Amino acid sequence: MQTCQLTDKSDVYSFGVVLLGLITRKKAFNLKGPEHEKSLSMVFLETMKENKPEDILDDEIKNNEDMEFLEEIAELARQCLEMYGVNKPSMKEVVDELERLRKVLQHPWAHKDPKELDSLLGESSSSANSGVIMSCLETMG
């Protein structure tokens, strides 16, 4: 239910929109596009539902080495954009996940051994050095 009240969960949603803007380089709203493409978050959520995040990510930041890392960022954005508060992470959980990703990127083996990075992430990933995302994560530290 949308109440138009600002809450901690609406802050998380807003952060998800900002994160989405970073990984897609698109505006949150495209009033000139077709009706079903006006809201970037709705297009993104549909793309994620189809398990095709690479279809919406900015071409300049995605490459084979970065895709799994970018998919993790996309998944975090998806969680932030959840419509139901029960499924949405708290801002602390978002910060914890960003901190975890930042630490992985700073690990000396992160850029050399994809298998080691998989181990550090605790799930499948790859080396990552996406400029925009990397810069954002580095400013946290």
pLDDT at 126: 37
pLDDT on residue 125: 40
Query: What pTM value is reported for the model?
Result: 0.70
Q: Determine the 3-state secondary structure of 100 from DSSP.
A: helix
In the chain, what are the domain boundaries?
8-140
Instruction: Name the superfamily (CATH) of residues 8-140.
Output: Transferase(Phosphotransferase) domain 1 (1.10.510.10)
Could you write out the DSSP letters of every residue in 38-86?
A: SBHHHHHHHHHHTT-GGGTS-TTT--TTTHHHHHHHHHHHHHHT-SSTT
| Per-position pLDDT tens, the chain of length 141 | 455 666 677 789 999 999 999 999 998 888 787 777 788 999 999 999 999 888 888 988 877 666 778 889 999 999 999 988 788 999 999 999 999 988 877 766 655 555 665 666 665 443 333 455 655 555 555
